Chains A and B, each alone.
Chain A
Amino acid sequence: MTTPQLDPKLFAEGPKRDSRFDVRDLWAEMQNFDASDPRLINEFLHRQMNEEINGMEISARNLADFPDAPWELRMSMARQCWDESRHIEAFRGCFERRGVEVGEYPVMNFQYRVITNIPSLIGRLAVQNRSFEAAGIDAIQNEVSEAARREGRTDLDELFDGQLADEVQHVRYANVWVKKLMELGGAAAVFQMTKAVSLANEALKIIAGDAATMYPVAEDVRREAGFTEDEIDVAKRLVAQGTG
């Protein structure tokens, strides 16, 4: 499928993928199955595995691109690489048990392309960990709550439970460090962060159009991950606007 090239002002070059993968640029080019289609869960698990690869690659790039970042922050980013590498294998295991192979569905690398286009570490952490991953913990908490209402425990319930604990740490360290980097960097850091969020929003509109899925804000989990009450209220308002 040929699509117009994404604007290099908004998107960096993509990460490498091996020949099993069919990489697409836009959400509309993906295989988006109806809720009643039995392939929906398989495609979701495969897509999710690739998002975890993106998460690992972004954290790895942050380590490579910002050698002067505080050591404690670099340790957290290195730890995130390990966590995401385990999530990749966990999602792969889940879809392989369902008879799906790596590369069976197309994938998108928009997260990597949007985040690594941001030149500042504070901007990358604000968008990747405090925005994308925070939305991720809302989605996972939604699944964990659904699972708690069902009888029995599946491999997916166990995966989401373990994954949520890790993702809370990723959001939490970003919350801590975005605040510290703002204190250290002053107005320039705030400007970098605001610019990064604005660029990412613009890029996401191109990728997803009106198709972005929003989940109810997991208030307790966001609190655990270091969001303030004001920040949680803002997230709730954004979800209400997005789903209203």
Chain B
Amino acid sequence: MSLTVNDRVRAIATFRFIEVRLMEITAAWTPTTAEMEVKVLFGRHIFDFAQHADWLGKRTFELRKPEQYSLKPAESYVDVIEALAAEEETGKRLSALYDVFIPALESRYRAYVDATDRLLDEPSVVIVERILIDLERMKRDAQRLRERIAVVAVPLPELARRESAHSAIVAPQG
């Protein structure tokens, strides 16, 4: 059985919530990160996250919810996002976002594409595939920057464990 329209909009709106939070988190980090080149990286990627949220938010309207509708993920997953937001050191911020969170988000987007009906839900699939191209570029940007300014990747096994502990992130329907 494929996803219903209600399943689809709940997933898309959850992804939108995450993209908006990533926009806000990188925005909050921009003035509070000392290294100029890292600020510039965040400044560029703020708009990538905003565009992803915007595309997803237009799709929620087509799936019979309001335009730019967001759905808060499962509460324990919101805690993981807030743990990401709380990172203060530059190397940890870069690793948390580009080594842990974005790869995990990519996996969740791919799982959505695998689960949905590629024909009936093609407008969502096209949006998600465009986002995946962006996320790949954003990871490359971060990796090149780390090589250029010699910021080493910081292993964050606890954050990765907490993220991957969630097989599903869409909040249960109340």
Interface size class of B (residues with CB under 8 A): 20 to 34
Interface centre among B26, B33, B40 (most CB of A within 10 A): B40
Q: Does B36 contact A (CB under 8 A)?
A: yes
Query: Which stretch, A11-19, A32-40, A142-150, A213-221, touches the partner chain B?
Result: A11-19
A47 to chain B, nearest CB (A): 14
Interface bits B56-80 vs A (CB < 8 Å: 1, else 0):
0100000000001000000000000
A61 to chain B, nearest CB (A): 6
The answer to whether A63 and B23 touch across the interface, beta carbons within 8 angstroms, is yes
Interface size class of A (residues with CB under 8 A): 20 to 34
Interface of A is mostly: helix
Which residues in A have their C-beta under 8 angstroms from that of B49?
78
Which residues in B have their C-beta under 8 angstroms from that of A88?
36, 40, 43
The answer to whether B31 and A102 touch across the interface, beta carbons within 8 angstroms, is no
The answer to whether B39 and A63 touch across the interface, beta carbons within 8 angstroms, is no
Interface bits A54-82 vs B (CB < 8 Å: 1, else 0):
00110011011001000100110011011
Checking A53, A64, A84 against B36 with a beta-carbon cut-off of 8 angstroms, the contacting residue is: A53
A64 to chain B, nearest CB (A): 4
B40 to chain A, nearest CB (A): 5
The answer to whether A74 and B36 touch across the interface, beta carbons within 8 angstroms, is no
The answer to whether B24 and A82 touch across the interface, beta carbons within 8 angstroms, is no
Which of chain A's residues has its CB closest to B57's CB? A71
Checking B30, B54, B68 against A60 with a beta-carbon cut-off of 8 angstroms, the contacting residue is: B30
Q: Does A155 contact B (CB under 8 A)?
A: no
A129 to chain B, nearest CB (A): 16
The answer to whether B50 and A61 touch across the interface, beta carbons within 8 angstroms, is no
Which residues in B have their C-beta under 8 angstroms from that of A48?
none
Interface centre among A17, A61, A64, A75 (most CB of B within 10 A): A64
Q: Does B115 contact A (CB under 8 A)?
A: no
Q: Does B35 contact A (CB under 8 A)?
A: yes
Q: Does A160 contact B (CB under 8 A)?
A: no
Q: Assess A85 versus B40: contact at CB under 8 Å? Given A63-B46, A75-B50, A78-B47.
A: yes
Which residues in A have their C-beta under 8 angstroms from that of B32?
15-16
Q: Does A112 contact B (CB under 8 A)?
A: yes
Give residues 3-41 of A contacting B (CB, 8 Å): 15-21
The answer to whether B50 and A60 touch across the interface, beta carbons within 8 angstroms, is no
Q: Does B28 contact A (CB under 8 A)?
A: yes
Q: Does A89 contact B (CB under 8 A)?
A: yes
Q: Does B42 contact A (CB under 8 A)?
A: yes
Which residues in B have their C-beta under 8 angstroms from that of A75?
50, 54
The answer to whether B36 and A60 touch across the interface, beta carbons within 8 angstroms, is no
User: Can you give 25 A-B contacts (C-beta < 8 A)?
Assistant: A16-B32, A18-B35, A53-B36, A60-B26, A60-B31, A60-B43, A61-B27, A63-B24, A63-B27, A63-B46, A67-B24, A71-B57, A71-B68, A78-B27, A78-B47, A79-B47, A81-B27, A82-B44, A82-B46, A84-B43, A85-B40, A86-B44, A88-B43, A89-B40, A116-B31
Task: Please name 13 further chain A to chain B contacts, defined as beta carbons within 8 Å, in addition to the given A64-B24, A78-B51, sorted by A numbering.
Answer: A16-B33, A60-B26, A60-B30, A60-B42, A60-B43, A61-B27, A61-B30, A64-B27, A67-B24, A74-B50, A81-B27, A85-B43, A102-B36
10 cross-chain pairs, A with B, having the tightest CB-CB distances, nearest first = A85-B43, A78-B50, A82-B47, A60-B30, A15-B31, A63-B27, A64-B28, A57-B31, A60-B27, A16-B34
Listed in ascending order, the chain A residues whose CB lies under 8 Å from chain B are 15-21, 53, 56-57, 60-61, 63-64, 67, 71, 74-75, 78-79, 81-82, 84-86, 88-89, 102, 112, 116
